[in-house]
């Protein structure tokens, strides 16, 4: 026997103000929380001869790099960086600097430490003979 009439729910009813607001606000909040948790796990350890970086929230990463010497150090801070004490450290060094030093907490302290590791150019006496 067939029914005389079948009533179904409209799929358009799911797309309402609350659903749109949830997609616009809730998903970015979860992404923001995940990024905050991931960045809180990032750590750089400096030793006399090496640098070890730890990163990752789900996939843990440990990376070891030789630390030969630094030739110059620059700090960049935005307005918010000065207000909340974070910044980007630009390092010129012997070899290649491939360590992520963006959004470092207390950048002036890292700058002071890296300035103690600046390699001095050897003094050579170069005389031109004529």
Indicate yes or no: pTM above 0.85: no
**DSSP one-letter code for 11:** G
Tokens of 56: 């990752």
Q: In whole angstroms, give the CA distance from residue 87 to residue 22.
A: 33
HEC string of 63-119 equals EEEECCCEEEEEEECCHHHHHHCEEEEEEEECCCCCCCCCCEECHHHHHHHHHHCEC
Average pLDDT per 10 consecutive residues for the chain, totaling 130 residues: 74 76 83 87 88 87 86 90 90 78 90 85 63
Place of tokens 């730890």: 54
Please give the pLDDT value at position 20. Answer: 81
How many Cβ atoms are within 10 Å of 107's Cβ, its own excluded?
Answer: 21
Spatial contact of 69 and 96, defined as CB atoms under 8 Å apart: no
Please give the pLDDT value at position 91. Answer: 86
């Amino acid at each position: 026997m067939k029914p005389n009439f079948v009533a179904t729910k409209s799929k358009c009813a799911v797309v309402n103000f609350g659903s749109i607001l949830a997609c616009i606000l809730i998903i970015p909040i979860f992404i923001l929380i995940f990024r905050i948790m991931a960045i809180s796990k990032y750590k750089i350890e400096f030793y006399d001869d090496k640098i070890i970086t730890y990163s990752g929230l789900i996939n843990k990463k440990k990376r070891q790099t030789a630390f030969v010497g630094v030739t110059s150090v620059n700090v960049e801070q935005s307005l918010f960086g000065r207000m909340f004490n974070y910044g980007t450290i630009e390092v010129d060094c012997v070899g290649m600097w491939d360590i992520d030093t963006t959004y470092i907490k207390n950048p002036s302290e890292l700058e002071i430490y890296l300035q103690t590791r600046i390699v001095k150019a050897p003094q050579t006496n170069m005389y031109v003979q004529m």
